[in-house]
């Protein structure tokens, strides 16, 4: 018996590459003419529909149903931002002490009500000269400076 090579059509390599059919570019585009795959009449056949469109002209869109807000902050988040404490203020602590909400309140760096309501984040402005254990969220720059001073971030 001779060795026969079995060829399947699904194993053949592709010989042609066709580009995507472009809508609305005439008969030569390969999509046909007239309606060009868009259906007959209506907004979808004629152009793009806004993302904010809610279905009919009678129903107000979501943006029209929301209360009017004026000024620069109308597109900003209403979520409260955490209180910012810079590294230079942590030099008040003794060596190898843990820095958390209660210790910051005791030293008078933040107010108790604000700290519990908004939270606290430590940013890397200034230099830290004392090694500390920090149990609060920190920025990347603050983490580098805390580790450089010999402290830890938990």
Q: Which segments of the chain have a pLDDT < 50?
A: none
Q: Which CATH architecture has domain 83-153?
A: Ribosomal Protein L15; Chain: K; domain 2 (3.100)
Contact 12, 24 (CB under 8 A): no
Contact 110, 72 (CB under 8 A): no
Contact 33, 27 (CB under 8 A): yes
The length of the chain in residues reads 154
Residue 107 pLDDT = 93
Quote the pTM value: 0.53
Q: Which of 101, 102, 106 minimizes the C-alpha distance to 122? A: 101
Contact 106, 100 (CB under 8 A): no
Structure-token match 């807000």, residue found:
69
Residue 48 pLDDT = 84
Residue 99 pLDDT = 95
* Parts of the chain belonging to CATH 3.100.10.10: 83-153
Residue 35 pLDDT = 81
Contact 97, 103 (CB under 8 A): yes
């Amino acid at each position: 018996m001779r060795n026969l090579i079995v060829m399947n059509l699904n194993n053949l390599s592709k010989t042609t590459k066709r580009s995507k059919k472009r809508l609305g570019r005439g008969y030569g585009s390969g999509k046909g003419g007239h309606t060009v795959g868009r259906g007959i009449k209506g907004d979808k056949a004629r152009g793009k529909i806004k993302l904010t469109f809610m279905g009919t002209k009678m129903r107000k869109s979501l943006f029209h149903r929301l209360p009017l807000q004026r000024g620069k902050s109308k597109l900003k988040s209403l979520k409260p931002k955490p209180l910012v404490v810079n590294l230079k203020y942590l030099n008040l602590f003794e060596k190898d002490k843990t820095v958390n909400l209660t210790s910051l309140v005791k030293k008078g760096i933040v107010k108790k009500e604000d700290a519990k309501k908004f939270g606290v984040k430590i940013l890397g402005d200034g230099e830290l000269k004392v090694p500390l254990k920090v149990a609060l969220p920190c920025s990347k720059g603050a983490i580098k400076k805390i580790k450089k001073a010999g402290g830890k971030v938990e």
